[in-house]
Structure 1
């Protein structure tokens, strides 16, 4: 069998990573007298790594993050009030598995958005689907969807991901319609045990015990 024919057949079954490297792989295997089983394992691992990489890129694209930063970029010394222990617990993504919610509250500039993005990045790396949306964009999309008659579509889109992040909730005023849509989204996510992260600079104090 010619290398060209082998390349074509590899491409036909979707093994494009191997098809692109087959000449080098065959040359290395022949030179080093690699057993058939080891050679097959090598090309399988190459394909798995490539597909995992592509899937990760797709999840990151769908997450619509405003920027890509991990927890390693966060300066805990600059914000000593933030508990590293609690942050590390969230990074396990157990809250997603349990369908729980995370609230990040505090004034502007303390790193709420950075943390929410870092949590989303970790979730995406672990294989979960995620979607980030700012509260003002949520409101604007509700208005556009209402005019276009597509409100059910956006509700489904916001209800579908394993993790939904709503940034700066409370900073932008919600009208009755967008507030109702937010309630519907949260209700649907609750029914399907969808996890939620909310960042807000609105902190309510209460004397109730």
Structure 2
């Protein structure tokens, strides 16, 4: 039994395969034009779905992270604070400390670049698929202190659930 294109699209919607649904028509036309083998076409269509899901996961994790900006080290002005330990900051970007189950603590005077470094590391972690929570300690502890006990537990849980 062969399905019509509208039936296929309904099935894809029902199966929550929006990546396939969005690119199917284009991929079919490309395959026909190139006389592409079925398995090659099918693998490309599956990759579209995987790419869509990965993109949506990263977007969702970024939204949950508390990061308002997607900063990177490429945008960082290292000449702004020459005393900043560049190599140590770039080592943080590798995220080895996360896989080792360690923490990184950035301390220093205001305006030295700590927030940019932290946001760039956090953004890199989100892109690598980690669950991240970015917060500034003074704001967090003020809100925590003013919260009801059940809200305090919820705030702590959101941190503890991160990688």
Q: TM-score, normalised by structure 2?
A: 0.90
After superposition, where does 1:85-124 map in structure 2 within 5 Å? 85-124=87-126
**More helix by percentage:** 2
Q: How many residues align?
A: 161
After the TM superposition, which of the residue ranges 25-34 and 49-58 deviates more from structure 2? Answer: 25-34
User: Quick one: which of 19, 22, 26 aligns to 1:20?
Assistant: 22
Contact 2:133 2:158 in 1 (8 A): no
Q: Cα distance, 1:149 vs. partner? A: 3.8
SS state at 1:101 partner: coil
CA distance in 1: counterparts of 2:105 and 2:139, whole angstroms: 19
After superposition, where does 1:47-58 map in structure 2 within 5 Å? 47-58=49-60
In structure 2, the residue matched to 1:158 is: 159
Residues 84 and 139 (structure 1 numbering): CA distance in 2 closer, same or farther, change over 3 Å?
closer
SS state at 1:104 partner: coil
CA distance in 2: counterparts of 1:128 and 1:3, whole angstroms: 38
After superposition, where does 1:171-190 map in structure 2 within 5 Å? none
Contact 1:145 1:154 in 2 (8 A): no
**More strand by percentage:** 1
Contact 2:71 2:120 in 1 (8 A): yes
